[in-house]
Structure 1
C-alpha cells in the first residue's frame, strides 16, 4: 500500500468513514446500518505447501462481508500487501458495488499474502489448489455460497485451478463450474470478461462526460473526444480502459507504472508503449515522451481525466492538492483516501467513485455465473432466429422499395448477436443506468455534494431494503 496518509491508516475504516457520511441521508435505524457495515464472516488460514525441498507456510484470507443476498462475490488477490484490514475493506466495497449495479450478490474478497514472482507456475498451482481446499473445507466457496473471481495478481489461469480443485472435491455438483468466474472460455468462462472492468470504466466516464451542466462546471466540453487522459497502471483494467479512451478519440498524454511514468502533451500511442515495455522491460525512454522517475508524480501532470487503475491510497492528503485533472475516475479499489476525497471535492473536481466505476468486472462475472447455471452460452438460442428475422424484414423492404442493398450492407444488417455482443450490451446498459441513478441522488438530495456519497446512499438503500424484506429487522 503506497503513499498512505500515515502509518495507522486503515482501509476498512476509510470505507466505513464514507459509509457513515452517506448513512446520515438514509432512513434506516442504527441497527440496520451497523449490520450493513459489519463483515459477517472472516476466514484467516495458514497452510503448508512444499516448495522445492522446503515447507513454506502461507497466510491467506477470505472475507464474506454481507449475506443479505447469496452467493457472496469477490476476487482473490495475490500480493504481499494482503492483510485482514485490506480484505475486509475490499469485501465491503464489493457489497456496495453489487448493490449499485443491481447484481444480486453479497460482497466478499480473498487473498494470499505472497510475492507471486518468486514462484514457478507449478508452485503457484500447488499454492492455489491448497488455498481452494481450505475454502472448500470451511464452506467459503460454492455456486450458491461464495463465488471468487480474479483480482490483482490473478487471472484465468488461477481460476481454472480453482474450478478444477472444487470439481474434484465435489464430483456430483452439477453446477460446479459456477463456483468461480473469470475462467477460460473452455472451462465455462464468458467472452468479454477479460476487458470487462476496463470497458466498464470507459462506459462510466463516458456517461459522466455527457452531462452538460457538470462539464460546464469543470470548464470542459461534452464528450470523450479530445480530452487529455492519464492512466496509472497498465494491467488488465488500466490497459483496456486506456485503449477504449484512445479509440473514442481521447488524447492519452500520460502512462504510469511502478518503474516510472511517461508524459507527452501531444499524445502517446498505447500499443507502441506496450510494445516498447515488452522489449525493454520499462515504459521509460519511450521515444518522444518525458521520463518521470518518481511514478507517483505522474499523477500530478496536466490532464482532463485521471484514471488511477493500480492499488489503493495512491492519492492521499499529501498529494491530492497537486492533482490537475478535472475528472478522477477510480478504476482501482480505493485509490483515494478520505482526506484526498475532501481536498478534491473542495477544489470542485469530479470524482467518479470505485464502487460504481469499476463494477464492470462483477457485472460480467454475474453474466458468467448465470451462463454456468443455465448450461448454455449466450446467443446460442437467438442468433439464427435474429438473423432469419432480419433477412425477412430486409427482403420485404427491398421488395416494397424495389431497391437492393449491397453485400456489405446486407452482411452488417443480417448479423445476429454473438455472446460478446450481448455481454457488451448488458454491461453498457448497466453502467448507463447505474450512473443515472447515483447522479439523480447527487443532484436531488440536499446536502449531498459529491458522487461518492450519492453512490453509498444508493447502495445502503438497496442493501437496507433487502434486510427489511428478509424480516430480520422491523
Structure 2
C-alpha cells in the first residue's frame, strides 16, 4: 500500500525519462561552451521522425499490427547511424533520446557519421524465429528509402543481432534493381561475417567498455589485477566486457539480468556463465556457480567497477547512494539519470560516460561500413588494433578537456562532440 508521503514524493518528483536526461546533458554542455544560439536550436531537435504501423501474419494465421520507429537526429557530419532495438519500452521519446546520443557519440569518436535510432515496440520473447523474421522484413519494407547505405545505416541494439541485420539487408536489397544490389551491402552493419560483416564487430562494444576501464585505471595508477566488478546485463556487451576484464585479472562477482541477480564473492567464471545461459534460454537464473540475491541488493554490492550494460535509467537517486564502486563504466546508453550522476560525482565516484565508454560498437560499425564501401576485408587483428587506437584517442581527448576545463568526463565528452558539430555548421553555413 502506498503511503501518503510516498504519494506526495511521486507527485513532487516525477520520474525523468531518457529524453529529459539527454536534453539536460546537452544544455549543460551548451552553457559551458557558449554554443551559438542558432546551432543550439538545430542540435536541440531531430531532423526527421518516422512512425510506421504495419501488419504481419503470425504462425497461427492471425494478423498483428506493429509500431516501428526511426528517428534521424543529425547528419551534419555524415550519414545517419544508429541501432534498431526490439523492446516494449521503444517509443518516440526513447528513439529521440537515443538518436541524440548517437550524434554525440559519432562526433566524439571523430567519425564521418551522424546519429539515428529506432526499433519496434515489441517483446521478442513472445514470437517465434519465423515470426521475428517476417516482422523484421515487413518493418524494413515499411522504412523503404528512409534508410540507405549513404543515408541512414541501422545496426544491432537491444534484442537484435547479426541475424536481424541479415534479414534487413536481404529485404532492402530485394527492393533494388539487379545492378544496384552489389552497391548496397553497407546499408546495415553488424551483419554475419558471411553476409559482409566485419571480423571483430561482435565484440567491439564490449571491448570498448573494457578499454575505457583499462585506460581510466592506467590514468589513475590503478592495477586491475584482482579488482572486483559487477555487470548489469549479460548480453553481447556485458559478456565481452567481462571476458576482457577477466583476462586482465579482474574478478566478476555479480551479474543481473531480466531473470534476476546472482553473486559469488569469490568470482564467477565468465565462460561458464555464458555456456550456462546458452543452455537456459539466455538467462542467468539458476546458475550453479553463484547465489541468487534480491535485485535491489545488486548495485549496493562491494566492488571496484560497476558496468551497467542493460537499459537506460537503471542508476537513479534511489540506488545511487548505495553504490560502492570506484568507477561506473556505462556499457548501456543513458543508464545513469541526471540526479544520480550528481550524487555520485559529489561522492567522488568516477563515471565513464556512455558516448565514450560504449562507442566501440559504432566505431566497429564504421569499420564494417568502410570495408563494404571499398570492397576490402580486414583481419581481426587489424580491426582490433584500429579500434584500440581510435578509443585511446577519444579517451585522451576527454581526459584533457576534463582537466583543462575542470569538468566531469561526461561534460567533457559532450563539449568535444558539440564543438566538432559547431565547427561544421560554422564552416558550411545554414541553407539558404
CA deviation digits over 1:261-302, x for unaligned, max 9? 2222222211222334445565345446332132x4212100
**Contact 1:259 1:293 (C-alpha < 8 Å) held by counterparts:** no
Q: Look up the SS of the partner of 2:33 in the other structure.
A: coil
CA deviation digits over 1:361-396, x for unaligned, max 9? 100100000111111212xxxxxxxxxxxxxxxxxx
Q: Look up the SS of the partner of 2:273 in the other structure.
A: helix
**Contact 2:229 2:304 (C-alpha < 8 Å) held by counterparts:** yes
| Distance in 1, Cα, partners of 2:83 & 2:407 | 31
What corresponds to 1:398 in structure 2?
A: none
| Distance in 2, Cα, partners of 1:99 & 1:48 | 37
After TM superposition, list the pairs within 5 Å mapping 1:280-429 onto structure 2: 282-287=283-288, 289-294=290-295, 296-378=296-378, 419-429=379-389
CA deviation digits over 1:63-109, x for unaligned, max 9? 00002122100000001110001010000000000011111111000
**Structure 1: runs of 5 or more not aligned:** 213-220, 379-418
| Distance in 1, Cα, partners of 2:388 & 2:312 | 26
Q: Look up the SS of the partner of 2:24 in the other structure.
A: helix
**Contact 1:300 1:324 (C-alpha < 8 Å) held by counterparts:** yes
Q: Identify which of 367, 374, 396 aligns with 1:436.
A: 396
**CA 68–254 in structure 1, closer or farther in 2 if over 3 Å, else same:** same
After TM superposition, list the pairs within 5 Å mapping 1:17-416 onto structure 2: 17-51=24-58, 52-136=60-144, 139-171=145-177, 172-212=180-220, 222-279=222-279, 282-287=283-288, 289-294=290-295, 296-378=296-378
| Distance in 1, Cα, partners of 2:40 & 2:256 | 38
- TM-superposed CA distance for 1:174, in Å, is 3.6
**Contact 2:82 2:154 (C-alpha < 8 Å) held by counterparts:** yes
**CA 173–472 in structure 1, closer or farther in 2 if over 3 Å, else same:** farther
- TM-superposed CA distance for 1:164, in Å, is 0.6
| Distance in 2, Cα, partners of 1:223 & 1:33 | 41
CA deviation digits over 1:31-55, x for unaligned, max 9? 1112112111000111111223222
Q: Look up the SS of the partner of 1:234 in the other structure.
A: coil
What corresponds to 1:449 in structure 2?
A: 407
| Distance in 1, Cα, partners of 2:13 & 2:234 | 27
| Distance in 2, Cα, partners of 1:166 & 1:243 | 35
Size of the aligned set, in residue pairs, is: 418
Establish whether residue 15 from structure 1 lines up as the match of residue 22 from structure 2: yes
Give me the TM-score of the superposition, normalised by structure 1.
Answer: 0.85
Q: Look up the SS of the partner of 1:210 in the other structure.
A: helix
**CA 125–278 in structure 1, closer or farther in 2 if over 3 Å, else same:** closer
Q: Look up the SS of the partner of 1:109 in the other structure.
A: strand
Q: Look up the SS of the partner of 2:74 in the other structure.
A: coil
| Distance in 1, Cα, partners of 2:186 & 2:285 | 42
RMSD, matched Cα: 1.8
- TM-superposed CA distance for 1:21, in Å, is 0.8
Give me the TM-score of the superposition, normalised by structure 2.
Answer: 0.93
| Distance in 1, Cα, partners of 2:167 & 2:288 | 40
**Contact 1:70 1:146 (C-alpha < 8 Å) held by counterparts:** no
| Distance in 1, Cα, partners of 2:387 & 2:232 | 23
Q: Look up the SS of the partner of 1:64 in the other structure.
A: strand
**Structure 2: runs of 5 or more not aligned:** 1-9
| Distance in 1, Cα, partners of 2:34 & 2:174 | 47
| Distance in 2, Cα, partners of 1:133 & 1:247 | 43
Q: Which shows bigger deviation, 266-275 or 245-254? A: 266-275
